Structure 1
Amino acid sequence: MAHTLKTEEKYKYIEAGEGTPIIVLHGLMGGLSNFDAVINYFSKEGFKVIIPELPIYSMSLIKTNVKAFAKYLEDFVAFKGFKEIIILGNSLGGHIGLYFTKLNPEKVKALIITGSSGLYESAMGGGYTKRGDYEVIKKKAQEVFYDPAVATKEIVDEVYETVNDRNKLIKTLAIAKSAIRHNMAKDLPKMNIPTCIIWGKNDTVTPPDVADEFHKLLPDSDLFWIDKCGHAAMMEHPTRFNEILHDWFKARSF
């Protein structure tokens, strides 16, 4: 199902369904379409699913960091008039969601993180010295997934375009440094928010022990594994991802 990208004031987002708002946060090189299965499923399950386009490459370099993105999310939530939200974030999106929760715990009903940064960054944004070589970029894109076929030509082309745009590459590296600077290890034990951690057992970007660490540090968390799965579980195993989340919502009475 195709969804229309809405533009209102400075915000661009996809929205579907009615009910408790779930705000979905994409990663550094992740498009909104990565969450098609999530929005198609949960928009019919009593939730309003909103996927904002994060200003990863459109903010000034000085504001290209996790804290500024969390502030952008804060402004977006206020703009939409939401009092309480559920946040679902993948990779950098998970990190932004965690930082937003640190600043606004009263606004977050629940958290879902998958392949999230915030504790460990595996050279995020690095390794692009041969960025002009399409085959090298293709291999790096494929390594994100357990099944390399998930990295379609469209995905590879987008990554290739990003790393060969000097402005975007500089901002990608700035975000990588920011992710390390904004390590959440000391904050997580104070975040007593119901948290669902869904992780690929074969994630090489944020390896399985990162999920274990999140589970250990977040006081009210549940950890679920998906086998034969890399860094983007909602893309590689969309049906299983939705089943886990549906059951967790039910168990937690959301």
Structure 2
Amino acid sequence: MGESLKKEKNFSYIEVGEGTPIIVLHGLMGGLSNFDSVKNFFSAKGYKVIIPELPIYSMSLLKTNVKSFAKHLHDFIEFKGLEDVILLGNSLGGHIALYHTKLYPEKIKALVITGSSGLYESAMGGGYTKRSDYDVIKKKAQDVFYDPKVASKEIVDEVYSTVNDRHKLIKTLAIAKSAIRHNMSKDLPKMKTPTCIIWGKNDNVTPPEVAVEFDELLPDSELFWIDKCGHAAMMEHPDEFNQILDVWLTKRNL
């Protein structure tokens, strides 16, 4: 990763570069390093890239939900004194970005979502009945990607450790239920924020029709596909992901 994690107040985050802030939001099982290529590319392009650690496992069970995470993000933006923010979220991170923008639209200049939850949650948090079986968890981690080799031993070990930690598993299931509860189909048509949707054509977690629905419901969105790509486009096809986003941001003068 290179950069050290800054810890201030009750926030932990990585910050690189100067310029318009891009806040990157990771998913339920996603580490900050999943966005290394985004961070390196856009910090060199004149953006301040900030990747906060979301308090997925550190909040009380009552506050382990999409709305509380969106409020935490708002507190972070206020703490950093940021304006004209671009939010980029993968999976649960996309859902948090959308929900935050619904609640606090005034400081968000643009949204970027990839493999986002918020409309379709059937794959979140399920299938852990055989969580002690390493091979089952390995297969589940590999299914997130089009190319199973992207699911490195480090990624599989991290997922295995998370689902076998009872405290974290309870939180994971609470988040999955919260994602269903905070379905955004009725909110999206009212959200005018420019949105770039980048989606893997082979996403098994949030299938392609989910991206089409996001694009249809959001008033000011553009949808871009990446072929031979699963749920985490910024990891499987980092160069193509960065290129698509860079062209979109330039076109929108963002």
TM superposition score category, shorter chain reference: over 0.9
CA distance in structure 1 between the partners assigned to 2:115 and 2:96 by the alignment: 13
| CA distance, structure 1, for counterparts of residue 121 and residue 3 of structure 2 | 32
Alignment correspondent of 1:194: 194
Counterpart for residue 22 of structure 2:
22
Deviation at 1:109, TM superposition (A): 0.1
CA contact (8 A) 2:123 2:206 kept: no
* 1:87 equivalenced with 2:87 (yes/no): yes
Give the aligned partner of residue 66 of structure 1.
66
The equivalent of 1:163 in structure 2 is 163
Structure 1 runs of 4+ with >2 Å offset: none
Give distance in 2, aligned partners of 1:105 and 1:216.
20
- Say if 2:207 is the partner of 1:207: yes
CA distance in 1, matches of 2:9, 2:140: 36
Q: Give distance in 1, aligned partners of 2:124 and 2:239.
A: 27
Q: Secondary structure at the match of 2:112?
A: strand
**Which ranges of structure 2 fall in alignment gaps of 5 or more residues?**
none
> What residue in structure 1 maps to residue 32 of structure 2?
32
Structure 1 counterpart of 2:140 = 140
- Quote how far apart the aligned CAs of 1:83 are: 2.2
Residue 96 of structure 2 corresponds to which residue in structure 1? 96
Name the SS for the 1:231 alignment partner.
coil
Q: Give the distance between the partners of 1:171 and 1:4, measured in 2 at CA.
A: 27
Which segments of 5 or more consecutive residues in structure 1 lack a partner in the other structure?
none
- TM-score scaled by structure 1? 0.99
**Could you tell me which residue of structure 2 aligns to residue 250 of structure 1?**
250
Instruction: Encode CA deviations 1:106-150: one digit per residue, 9 max, x unaligned.
Output: 111000000000000133111000000000000000000000000
1:2, CA displacement in angstroms? 1.3
The corresponding residue for 2:154 is 154
Q: Distance in 2 between matches of 1:97 and 1:201?
A: 22
Provide the C-alpha distance between the structure 2 equivalents of 1:45 and 1:233, rounded to a whole number of angstroms.
Answer: 20
Q: CA RMSD, aligned part only?
A: 0.6
Q: Is the 8 A contact 2:21 2:86 kept in 1?
A: yes
What is the distance in 2 between the residues matched to 1:25 and 1:68?
Answer: 14
Which residue does the alignment assign to 2:108?
108
TM-score, normalised to structure 2, is: 0.99
1:135-167 deviation per Cα after TM superposition (whole angstroms, max 9, x unaligned): 000000000000000000000000000000000
